[in-house]
Amino acid sequence: MKFSRLFKGRHDYYGTYVIEGSKGEKVIGAAKTINKKVTEKLYQDHLDGKQSLGMVPLTEDGFCWFAALDIDVYDLKFDEFEAEINQLGLPFNICRTKSGGVHLYVFFKAKVKAPLVRRKLKEFATSLGYSDAEIFPKQDKGNPGNWINLPYFNYQNTNRYAYKNGQILSLDEFLEKVEMITGKELENLIVPILEDISDAPPCLQTLCKNGIVQGQKELSLFNLAVYCKLKYPDGWEDKLSELNQLYCKPPALNATVEKSIKTHRRKSFFYQCDKFPLVQFCNKDFCKKLIYGIGNESPSVSMGDLVKINSDPPIWYMDINNIKIQFQTADLIEQSRFSKLCMEKINTLPKRLKETTWKKIIQEKLDSVTEIQAPDDAGSFGQFVHLLRAYCTERPPARNKGEILQHKPWTNDQKTYFQSNDLLTFLNQRKFNQLRPNAIYNKIRELGGESSLISIKGIKVRVWNIPEFEKQTEEFDQLEISDDPY
């Protein structure tokens, strides 16, 4: 049966959908995934209207014989939509869904690797302005994968039909006129969205193609300015104004355009890929291939907003691939340290960027950083002072100066004396390793401490002294416990 050969997928799983009613324009019901062998009878029952069939377009070894975009838009004019698909040269076969939306099917003459299929369908969806459309298969591999409802349920009286050349096709006409391509043809098909900015990121092309409306203008113009500065370094301001007139509906006010121009004159920025509305139309793989897309200047991990805790030293937080990671300042300055943390925390090694690009990305994060004031005892220095107090006051004190050689702190005349190695040993025992010795000694000086040589039992000994810490003079209150707590 030609119908079953077109919609060939996994042979050990399939889906079915029992319609129970409708909610607005969308048909609702119960979807079930069934772990049984796919047979010719299931295809025939589907066509006869006995039981709906959904197929997983992903074989067990990660290939596709067909794929689809699922566009849940119910007011599409099929003739206009078909004209747009033909104009772009996309290899789609248009089918109406049970709810009145659109399934765009691609059929292959021989099976094609799923990662290539998914990447290209993402490009095609973006070129049509539906980058958020569901892509089938949804996985590069997986068990069992997601299934999609097939067309022509109850084929003699169906509302799930194919549409071609302005006509509704019967099942026989669909099987006769269906278009099929090879994997090589799929791979070589590149679709620019707009001719005059075909080298810009696809998100900007899509926004311009659809018309940039109120609520999108300020951020879109900001990112169009990035594109213009890259492509037209000597006349980018005029080009930005031109793009505003062409693609903003209606054009943004001169003050809005000037605001973006003044901002970009002061410093250079990069595309804000993670911000709305750009993120809605993002196609990172396609964008990397474009001359003025993100290319190699884009990090290979998702970097969220930066948060700074104003402790001493400051602590930084950023979501990397949606996982919150804590950074030290040097981790953000040095890419190697940043990469090491990503390996440890999220098992990902980010690609290395040009140093100027890395600094630009970090500066953009700093320009919008959220600052939080930390309590005085927060951070590495706060922890160190707490441990220094414990070392000087909680350990058995030296009864005389000579016991400094027995690794004890000695307090005399409102000063506490100790050897630096003894303090470092104590800090190591408490598993405190956030500060290097030089930073520790500098902090001791800030606390009024100083280093000197003193004579102990006839030898010169290098010691530190700091002003004596206040000691607890009152005992803790005793907790009263009843003889009969119940």
Write out 211-235 in H/E/C secondary structure.
CECCCCHHHHHHHHHHHHHHHCCCC
pTM over 0.85: no
Residue range 331-344: mean pLDDT, rounded:
92
3-state helix, strand, coil in the chain (%, to 5): 40, 20, 40
What CA–CA distance (Å, rounded) separates 394 from 321? 44
Mean pLDDT (the chain, rounded): 86
Mean pLDDT score, 181-205: 87
| pLDDT tens-digit readout, 5-44 | 999 999 998 999 876 666 666 656 678 889 899 999 999 9
- Cα–Cα dist 464/450, whole Å: 6
DSSP code for 60: T
Reduced to 3 states (helix: H, G, I; strand: E, B; else coil), residue 373 is strand
Contacts of 60 (CB under 8 A, 6+ apart): 10, 11, 12, 143
Report the C-alpha gap between 267 and 363 in whole angstroms: 10
The residues that bridge with 477 in the sheet, in sequence order, are none
Give the per-residue pLDDT at 167: 94
What's the mean pLDDT in 468-480?
A: 58
> Is the pLDDT at 66 greater than 70, yes or no?
yes
Integer Cα distance of 256 and 218 in angstroms: 7
Q: What is the CA radius of gyration of the chain?
A: 34
pLDDT at 476: 43
Q: Please give the Cα distance from 393 to 387 (Å, whole number).
A: 10
Instruction: Residue count of the chain, please give it.
Output: 486
Q: 336: buried, middle or exposed (CB in 10 Å: 19+, 13-18, 0-12)?
A: exposed
pLDDT attached to residue 296:
56
Q: What is the pLDDT of residue 131?
A: 75
Greater pLDDT, 301 or 118: 118
The answer for residues whose C-beta is within 8 angstroms of residue 230's C-beta and 6 or more apart is: 292
Q: What is the mean pLDDT of residues 316-328?
A: 85
pLDDT at 100 over 50: yes
DSSP bridge partners of 15: 33, 54
* 168/170 Cα distance (integer angstroms): 7
Distance linking the first and last C-alpha atoms of the chain: 79
Please write the tens of the pLDDT for every residue from 227-271. 999 899 889 999 999 999 999 999 999 999 999 999 999 877 778
